[in-house]
Amino acid sequence: MSRSIVYTSSPLLASPTPVWRSKFIVAAVALAFAGLVGRAAYIQVIDNDFFQKQGEVRFARTLALPANRGRILDRHGVVLASSIPVPSIWAIPEDVPREPVKLKQLAKLLGLSMADLNKKLQDEDKSFVWLRRQVDDTVGKDVMALGLKGIYERKEYKRQYPEGEAAAHVVGFTNVEDQGQEGVELAFNQDLGGRAGSRRVIKDRMGRVVEDMREQIAPVDGRDLQLSIDSKVQFFAFQALKDAVIKHKAKAGGIVVLDVQTGEVLALANYPSYEPGKRQHLTGEQLRNRTLTDSFEPGSTMKPFVIAQALQSHRVTPDTPIQTAPGRLTIGSATISDSHAHGVLSVTEVIQKSSNVGTAKIALQMPAREMWEMYSNVGFGQKPQVPFPGAVSGRLRPHKSWRPIEQATMSYGYGLSVSLMQLAHAYTVFGRAGDLVPLSMMKVAAPVLGQPVFDSQVALDVRHMLHLVTGPGGTAPKAQTMGYSVGGKTGTANKQEGRGYAAKKYRGVFAGLAPIEAPRISVAVMIDEPTNGQYYGGDVAAPVFSQAVQQTLRVLGIAPDMSVKPQIVTVPVEESF
């Protein structure tokens, strides 16, 4: 039986309550509510900048929209460098589950050790970390197939270099950020790179885009570059150089092929080289663009310029006799020697036989300033006007400091230094009408005007002398090319070591023109420190010249200017019963 309760009998409830207390409580609640409304209005309407910024810091992101880097093309449109989209793997470290089995699989796919992977996942930035950039498509698919939370994929552009090591020192390469680091990639980085766009978005904690904050800025793709390089000429030149360096067990080598008519660089190669797309274990020896960054004493390849200046000033004619006996010339305390005593030689024979004594005697007939100006006019002592980084100017001291012995030695290539590009460029004056055209790494469409250096008859006379160098009785018969007439000059110089010269370290050099009657190309070859028994330029560099000339003229469609005599070799065959 329930018991009835009379609440009014409670002293607390029965006590009279003041009306003001109820009103106070209601007013306090109303005031608090008004304060909340006011605070909300202040935060959301009046002064919301701080909170907007805090929200953006946590959830707003600016996504870069990469521009497609421009292609690098050869003169015929063959691709030397291009960009392709590839996946890159990134993570939100705090979201990645620590599942040993799957993490081990992830590390294996990305080519990381578990220690390296754990280090990346423990990065201070808990919202983003790169795990591996620019992986193969199959790797990207396999990684995403693991289904690991917090692991994501992003598309980036990666450069491809179809010509590989043959054109490495021309095109160079980019880093993982698609910025040029060497060669054309560096020299024309701004043109090739274009301008990246951007997109401002809000992401959720899973890294997914949920809203665009403003209109995106579209990227501007880089422009394509068409070089003067001929990819076929480049390949053949590189292969001939590589074979020679390996055959002669040399330290390195370089080759430059120029178009005499336009000054265009058709080929530029070095060995050792490298694969631009595989740069994990690169060394400075591989990276050096020796044709431009290395200067050396060019030896007897300087003699034609001295003879040309003597012809230009009418001091000599091609038939002027020069007494070179007894094969030695003493100037002060120094003695200049020829490799063989020749007696009286004509000026033409001085070049053909490569007489140091004869060249020095001719050089000493002219003022030092005249010889210095001539060397300067053909580009020595001046940086080649090509856009490659690191191109050197070589060394050509002011003529006022020359002593007679120094002028004499500089006439046959000691006491000054040049790059291989400068040497190939200088020889174009003999292939033209005595004028020097500017160099170009870009394809040239319009006719090119040159700067006069020698008279056209002087250039023709020197060409005849260079042709004799490659014939019987010359120093470079190995430069002869089947079907084409050639001319050039050998150079063999001891390498500088400290303040003197190394006794058994040489550079073998050959520079020349082809076809010699109507030159189209200038080719310079340098073999550094051959150690396999031969070191003369006529033995180690001239054969490379020969191969490069034959292939280049064939690629350019130049008709042979010499008859090719078929040779039938009979081999006795043993009879079998």
Distance CA 268, CA 254 (A): 8
Q: Is residue 32 situated within a structural domain?
A: no
| Boundary (domain end) residue, out of 202, 226, 250 | 226
- Quote the pLDDT of residue 25: 86
Residues 418 and 533 in one domain: yes
Q: Is residue 366 situated within a structural domain?
A: yes
Which of the 8 DSSP states describes residue 479? G
Q: Is residue 284 situated within a structural domain?
A: yes
> Which residues form the domain of 529?
231-555
- Quote the pLDDT of residue 378: 97
**CATH code of the domain containing 386:** 3.40.710.10
Whether 276 and 172 have beta carbons less than 8 Å apart is answered as yes
Burial zone of 465 (CB within 10 Å; 0-12 exposed, 13-18 middle, 19+ buried): buried
Distance CA 168, CA 156 (A): 23
∠ CA 427-430-435, rounded to 5°: 95
Residues 240 and 174 in one domain: no
Residues 270 and 367 in one domain: yes
Residues 207 and 293 in one domain: no
Distance CA 458, CA 85 (A): 56
**CATH code of the domain containing 88:** 3.90.1310.10
Residues 368 and 514 in one domain: yes
Question: The tokens of 508 are what?
Answer: 């073998």
- Contacts of residue 131, defined as CB under 8 A and 6 or more positions apart, other chains included, come to 89, 90, 91, 106, 110, 112, 117, 120, 151
Q: Is residue 12 situated within a structural domain?
A: no
Residues 485 and 364 in one domain: yes
Strand partners of residue 185:
none
Residues 397 and 537 in one domain: yes
Q: Name the pTM for this structure.
A: 0.82
Catalytic (active-site) positions: 300
10-residue mean pLDDT profile of the chain (577 residues): values are 58 67 84 85 75 63 75 96 90 83 89 87 75 88 88 87 94 88 92 80 62 72 93 97 97 97 96 87 85 94 97 96 94 91 94 95 96 97 88 94 95 95 97 95 88 96 97 94 96 86 92 95 97 94 97 95 57 41
Residues 189 and 286 in one domain: no
* Count of structural domains within the chain: 2
Residues 217 and 275 in one domain: no
Residues 239 and 171 in one domain: no
- Quote the pLDDT of residue 563: 65
Q: Is residue 430 situated within a structural domain?
A: yes
| Boundary (domain end) residue, out of 226, 247, 270 | 226
Distance CA 554, CA 535 (A): 29
| Boundary (domain end) residue, out of 171, 196, 226 | 226
Q: Is residue 55 situated within a structural domain?
A: no
The distance of Cα 144 from the centroid of its chain, to the nearest Å, equals 36
Q: Is residue 40 situated within a structural domain?
A: no
Residues 161 and 250 in one domain: no
Q: Is residue 180 situated within a structural domain?
A: yes
Residues 216 and 351 in one domain: no
- Contacts of residue 254, defined as CB under 8 A and 6 or more positions apart, other chains included, come to 241, 269, 270, 271, 290, 291, 294, 420, 525, 526, 528
